[in-house]
Amino acid sequence: MLYHIFKNGWEDKAYIDARVFGLDKVKAEVMTWTPERVQDVTGIPEAEVLRIAEMLAKNKPSTVVWCMGQTQHTVGNANVRAMCILQLVLGNVGVSGGGTNIFRGHDNVQGATDVGPNPDSLPAYYGLAAGSWKHWCKVWGVDYEWVKSQFASQAMMEKSGITVSRWIDGVLEKNEAIDQDSNLRAVVYWGMAPNSQTRGLEMVEAMKKLDLLVVIDPYPSATAAMAAMMRKDGVYLLPACTQFETSGSRTASNRSIQWGEKVIEPLFESKPDHTLMYAFAKKFGFEKELCKNIKVNKDKQGWDEPEIEDILREINRGAWTIGYTGQSPERLKLHMKNMHTFDVKTLRANGGPCDGDYFGLPWPCYGTPELKHPGTPNLYDTSKHVMDGGGNFRANFGVERDGVSLLAADGSASKGAALQMGYPEFDHVLLKKLGWWDDLTEDEKKAAEGKNWKTDLSGGIQRVVLKVYGCHPFGNARARALVWNFPDPVPLHREPMYSPRPDLVDKYPQPDDKKVFWRLPTLYKSLQTKVRDISKEYPLIMTSGRLVEYEGGGDETRSNPWLAELQQEMFCEVNPRDANNAGFRNNDFMWVETPTKGRMKVRAQVTERVAPGTVFLPFHFAGWWQGKDMLEYYPEGAAPIVRGESVNQGTTYGYDSVTMMQETKTTLCRVTKA
Amino acid sequence: MARMKFLCDTERCIECNGCVTACKNENETPWGVNRRRVVTVNDGVPGERSVSVACMHCSDAPCMAVCPTDCFYKTEEGVVLHNKDACIGCGYCFFACPFGAPQFPNGPAAFGARGKMDKCTFCAGGPEENGSKAEFEKYGRNRLAEGKLPLCAEMCSTKALLAGDAPVISDIYRERVMRRGKAGEAWGWNTAYGKPEQAAPAAKEAAK
Ligand code: SF4
Ligand code: SF4
């Protein structure tokens, strides 16, 4: 699409000149992708690509929506950057109705990500450097040295961990090959579905080898059944309650936050996550440190329950980077009570007690709650004042690269900013240089000395920069089309690990294997070369994804009779041509076999939804294993109503070269009549 | 008095089955009894369309005409209800209905053994006292008596499915058609509402 946009001069030149870095290198690569070459690799004819490119170029603004279809590939990082570049080239970023919208799979995934489950960062994307730890220790009110003493070494404390996609290798990999002392010996599955992860056949081997497996979930889940198939002891089930049985804030994909009230008391013996966390901390002897700033109450059964509002207040006190600071529980609750005062198009309150706020105070909602920042409905929008939810691109990578400025061009700052030019991020030095230091109060000065906009706990730096001077605390820079610190600075096509086209593997190979990547050796080229011709045995492309009736691993939703009735069996979508060639009909049982030696017995759904040569399987099913019902492995009365083969028994090895995201969206298989 | 109707906008329905789930949840109908269903045509090829179908509460309802025990009655708001106590499970209404609305808990068993017919009540219950336990157990929730509209339409995320007073929902639909600049007749309306309204709708009391 970019090829046609550049060729026809449809790009937004003024926008690119003022706000984008490194596009020339991207353009050079793009222009080598002639329509013939595109059709050869993707199968999509020129007319179709041109039609969509023209539609986007001539109907602005427009937004691009994706979910996991872009990300769960070895080249996921390149795919998503390509989408962002497309939107930058069209000038569609930072405008109402534009942008890229990456939909989250369920309630509060965005919120979970923001508070730091990723193994390379503390909450709010602060990273793991010593300075980041010191910042959070101050927020938590605990001694940095004490926290450090909890780790084997400072090196371990600051080293990115193993990602969830690879935990099985943390168990199974040879000890000398991994970048930590011990292999993984204990695993806690906390609201996570094993059947949403690839390489299921190896996963049960890893489960067998563990010393300890803990499952914390509203349902025993496929984890428990898979483990029970492999072992008789060392697996513990802890009942967690659902979001309806507790209260708290939830963040949606658009970064807006809603306060949820408890609908019913927790059922049976279940407890909310924070109660379970506190109970663990108490057993391990650090519950005081865990809840230094958080009130602890007794629940109805006498368990200690940390106060949810205080937890959010602690996040508010520390998460300056993303502006998760202004959304106090009081402000969020006020929004929920006054929903009717918000305009459904602008999302802005028009009068009433929340006047001027955007619904749910989408982050960044900078400064302290008292600053009354209204939240940011669209990121990077220069047409608005920063105190009206405006913004610009972040200066996160210095001010210059290879002699070219990384800062935005003159005249391209947010509306009303005192600095109408590109500028770096703010710290105490810059504030003093600009003569803005004396706008801080005496107390703020004390807190801000030696700090920057994301470590000043008083919020003074943010207040002065935003409110007094209308500037953005994180600076005003260009969006990077060229990401020099990634393995492919310009997004490149690379054939999937398991490709149906050996000729394309030769032309677009994976990079070399990595010896240490998120603590693990990771295969790329060596594996791809080894399986170069495997499509002779497994000729069909196999992809996987979601259904509307089920959610995630599906244990909860497949246990709900109203949903279960709508999708009663695991199935595989096959084009009529492939079904006829394999000799089965619609609704027959069929086998799907993949290079992992995974064998899945599923219903054939013969349909034009998929093109010849491709099959699709949903990933929400579990409870069958290689053709056999696993009913006996669920605790009595706890098996989901609908059980079926999980597609991820059959998905293959392959990980994104930056994020270590698993490759679920493309592998190979063969199909036969069962 | 309002005249209640359903309207499903096939340009908007995304086959999410939210309406079906809402119906099952609100009325607690058993597995296998589906008062509402989503039907998709041209699945997977250009021109694919989905429509959410339940009892349309016809103007001149064929089910009423064929029922040998006269168990159907019509409320003042045009909702077609029936009396399960009088139903003998013969299945005539199922054959007469142009929308496949009547459901039988025991499936296509023989005469009588099919069990009492069950269908969409427009969330308006049955002959028993409004909001009573007996009414709920036989017919599901009586939302209309509480001043609420059917839950399926209330929950529809795209507002493809509309339920309510005929002039109100046809106005919404007309406005959409105008904006789209594409004429289209509301799905099933001719069949359901093309004939003159049955004379003198019997009040709930009269059916007892
Ligand atoms: S849709 Fe069927 S069941 Fe409903 S009123 Fe019409 S004929 Fe009777
Ligand atoms: S809820 Fe609405 S969009 Fe979804 S299937 Fe029903 S009518 Fe269609």
| Residues A571-582 pLDDT 10s | 999 999 999 999
pLDDT tens column, A120-165:
999 999 999 999 999 999 999 999 999 999 999 999 999 999 999 9
Confidence of residue A547 (pLDDT cuts 50, 70, 90): very high
Buried b (16+ CB within 10 A) or exposed e, A321-330: bbbbbbbbbe
**Amino acid residing at A71:** T
Name the nearest CA neighbour of A8 among A47, A64, A62, A53: A53
Segment A415-421 shows an average pLDDT of: 97
pLDDT tens column, A133-142:
999 999 999 9
Segment A214-233 shows an average pLDDT of: 92
Answer yes or no: is pLDDT of B114 > 90. Answer: no
Assigned token pair, A414 = 């947010």
CA of B15 to the centre of ligand 2 (A): 6
CB-CB neighbors (< 8 A) of A565 in chain B: 24, 31-32
Average the pLDDT over each of A217-221, A474-478, A556-560, A623-627 and give the range with the smallest value. Answer: A217-221
| pLDDT reported for residue B199 | 55
CATH number of the domain located at residue range(s) A2-102 in this protein: 3.40.228.10
Q: Give, in order, the Cα–Cα distances in Å from A71 to each of A74, A555, A568, B114.
A: 8, 24, 29, 51
Determine the 3-state secondary structure of B189 from DSSP.
helix
Ligand 2 atom with minimal separation from the B52 CA:
7
Confidence of residue B107 (pLDDT cuts 50, 70, 90): confident
Sign of CA dihedral A349, A355, A361, A364: positive
User: Tokens 């691009």 correspond to what residue?
Assistant: A64
Nearby residues of A664 by Cβ (< 8 Å), 6 or more positions away: A68, A72, A198, A544, A619, A648, A651
Q: What angle do CA A217, A219, A223 make, to 5 degrees?
A: 75
Nearest CA to ligand 1 atom 4: B55
| pLDDT reported for residue B203 | 44
Domain A502-673 has CATH 2.60.40.1120: no
Cα B55 to Cα B64: distance, rounded to the nearest angstrom = 13
Contact A548 B45 (CB under 8 A): no
CA of A80 to the centre of ligand 2 (A): 31
Alpha helices by DSSP H, A210-307? 221-230, 273-284, 287-290
Nearby residues of A363 by Cβ (< 8 Å), 6 or more positions away: A114, A251, A255, A257, A322, A323, A324, A327, A375, A376
| pLDDT reported for residue B207 | 43
Q: What angle do CA A8, A12, A14 make, to 5 degrees?
A: 130
Nearest to A565 among B31, B43, B45 (CB): B31
Sign of CA dihedral A597, A169, A122, A453: negative
Q: How far is A561 from chain B (nearest CA, A)?
A: 7
Name the nearest CA neighbour of A581 among A609, A616, A540: A540
pLDDT tens column, B66-90:
999 999 999 999 999 999 999 999 9
Answer yes or no: is pLDDT of A668 > 80. Answer: yes
- HSE, side-chain direction, 13 A CA sphere, residue A370: 5
Average the pLDDT over each of A116-120, A139-143, A429-433, A442-446 and give the range with the smallest value. Answer: A116-120
Name the nearest CA neighbour of A655 among A479, A527, A560, A531: A527
Q: Give, in order, the Cα–Cα distances in Å from A200 to each of A167, A674, B133.
A: 12, 21, 48
| pLDDT reported for residue B200 | 47
Question: Would you call A578 an interface residue with chain B, using a CB distance cutoff of 8 Å?
Answer: no
Nearby residues of A619 by Cβ (< 8 Å), 6 or more positions away: A195, A196, A544, A545, A546, A553, A646, A647, A648, A664
Fold of A109-314: Rossmann fold (3.40.50)
pLDDT tens column, B184-207:
778 999 999 988 887 544 444 444
pLDDT tens column, A177-194:
999 999 999 999 999 999
Answer yes or no: is pLDDT of B104 > 80. Answer: yes
Q: How far is A564 from chain B (nearest CA, A)?
A: 9
pLDDT tens column, B115-139:
899 999 999 999 999 999 999 999 9
Q: How do strand A100-102 and strand A64-66 relate by DSSP bridges?
A: parallel
Answer yes or no: is pLDDT of B208 > 80. Answer: no
Segment B85-106 shows an average pLDDT of: 93
| pLDDT reported for residue B112 | 73
Count of A–B CB contacts within 8 Å? Answer: 25
Beta bridge partners of A240: A271
| pLDDT reported for residue B204 | 44
| pLDDT reported for residue B182 | 79
Q: Give, in order, the Cα–Cα distances in Å from A232 to each of A217, A248, B108.
A: 20, 37, 46
Phi then psi for A331, rounded to 5 degrees? -65, -40
**Amino acid residing at A403:** G
Determine the 3-state secondary structure of A244 from DSSP.
helix
Contact A608 B24 (CB under 8 A): no
Nearby residues of B187 by Cβ (< 8 Å), 6 or more positions away: B7, B8, B9, B10, B51
- CB–CB of A329/A257 below 8 Å? no
Question: Would you call A47 an interface residue with chain B, using a CB distance cutoff of 8 Å?
Answer: no
Segment A253-282 shows an average pLDDT of: 96
pLDDT tens column, A281-292:
999 999 999 999
**Amino acid residing at A452:** N
Residue A39: burial class (beta carbons within 10 Å; 0-12, 13-18, 19+): middle
| pLDDT reported for residue A106 | 82
| pLDDT reported for residue A642 | 97
Closest A-chain CA to B44? A609
- The boundaries of every CATH 3.40.228.10 domain in chain A are 2-102
Determine the 3-state secondary structure of A388 from DSSP.
helix
Q: Provide the ipTM.
A: 0.90
Cα A537 to Cα A543: distance, rounded to the nearest angstrom = 17
Closest A-chain CA to B20? A562
Tell me the Cα Rg of chain A: 26
Answer yes or no: is pLDDT of B109 > 80. Answer: no
Chain B residues contacting A, CB < 8 Å?
15-17, 20-21, 24-25, 31-32, 43-45
Confidence of residue B181 (pLDDT cuts 50, 70, 90): confident
CA of B98 to the centre of ligand 1 (A): 7
With the most atoms of ligand 1 within 8 angstroms of its CB, the residue from B3, B33, B35, B55 to mutate is: B55
Name the nearest CA neighbour of A495 among A477, A511, A484, A510: A510
Does the C-beta of B52 come closer than 6 Å to ligand 2? yes
Answer yes or no: is pLDDT of A475 > 90. Answer: yes
| pLDDT reported for residue A521 | 98
Alpha-carbon dihedral A240, A241, A247, A249, rounded to 10 degrees: 60
- The boundaries of every CATH 2.40.40.20 domain in chain A are 502-673
Model's pTM, two decimal places? 0.93
User: Tokens 């000395």 correspond to what residue?
Assistant: A449
Contact B24 A565 (CB under 8 A): yes
Cα A254 to Cα A233: distance, rounded to the nearest angstrom = 43
Assigned token pair, A470 = 């209308």
What is the DSSP code string of A320-382?
A: TTTTBSS--HHHHHHHHHTGGGB-TTT-BB-SSTTTTPBTT-PSPB-S-GGG-----SSTT-T
Cα A99 to Cα A272: distance, rounded to the nearest angstrom = 36
